[in-house]
């Protein structure tokens, strides 16, 4: 598990592998629900280049916790809540608020820039979080 977390922590911000678009037929790797609200999506790219897609950041977190193995993850991406553009997981700023109605009730969203995250945290009575606070 330590190897998995170490590789995830180091590699999520490298940007080498590119994110894969979410399509209408995509299902969450963890809960198997359709990924219908792209602004809450996230994905991990494994060492074979396979994209593991999620409908909620909470699902990606659970998926990682369930796989306490040596799964190699060279990249992870999260969707910017406002622009709906992929951001490297380590480069995003996260906000947790009960006011965010995410697909699996995780209540955490990602922002490309800290200023947008700070505004959202203030307006939604939320808390700023780092990558490590969300996923580790």
Does the structure show a pLDDT above 70 at 36? yes
From its phi and psi, is residue 107 left (phi > 0), alpha (psi between -120 and 50) or beta? Answer: left
- At 39, the pLDDT band (50, 70, 90 cuts) reads very high
Specify whether the CB–CB gap between 131 and 89 falls below 8 A: yes
Going from N- to C-terminal start, the domains of the chain cover 2-135
Q: What is the pLDDT of residue 65?
A: 86
Average pLDDT of the segment spanning 90-118: 97
Give the whole-angstrom CA distance, residue 89 versus residue 120: 18
Average pLDDT of the segment spanning 26-52: 94
Q: What is the pLDDT of residue 10?
A: 46
Give the whole-angstrom CA distance, residue 69 versus residue 51: 18
Average model confidence (pLDDT) for the chain? 88
Q: What is the pLDDT of residue 14?
A: 47
Does the structure show a pLDDT above 90 at 31? yes
Report the percent of the chain where pLDDT is more than 90.
74
Three-state SS for the chain is CHHHHHHHHHHCCCCCCCCCCCCCCCECCCCCCECCCHHHCEEEECCCCCEEEECCHHHHHHHHHHCCCCCCCCEEEEEECCCCCEEEHHHCEEEECCCCCCCCCCCEEEECCHHHHHHHHHHCCCEEECHHHHHC
pLDDT by residue (tens digit) across 41-81?
Answer: 999 998 889 999 999 999 999 998 887 665 678 899 999 99
Q: What is the pLDDT of residue 83?
A: 97
């Amino acid at each position: 598990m330590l190897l998995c977390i170490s590789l995830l922590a180091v590699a999520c911000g490298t940007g080498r592998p590119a994110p894969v678009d979410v399509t209408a037929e995509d299902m969450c790797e963890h809960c198997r629900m359709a990924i219908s609200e792209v602004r809450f999506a996230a994905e991990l790219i494994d060492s074979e280049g396979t994209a593991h897609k999620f409908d909620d950041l909470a699902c990606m977190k659970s998926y990682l916790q369930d796989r306490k193995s040596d799964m190699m993850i060279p990249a992870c991406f999260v969707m910017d809540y406002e622009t709906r553009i992929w951001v490297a997981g380590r480069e995003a700023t996260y906000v947790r608020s009960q006011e965010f109605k995410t697909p699996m009730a995780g209540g955490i969203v990602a922002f490309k820039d800290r200023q947008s995250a700070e505004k959202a945290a203030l307006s939604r009575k939320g808390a700023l979080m780092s990558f490590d606070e969300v996923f580790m």
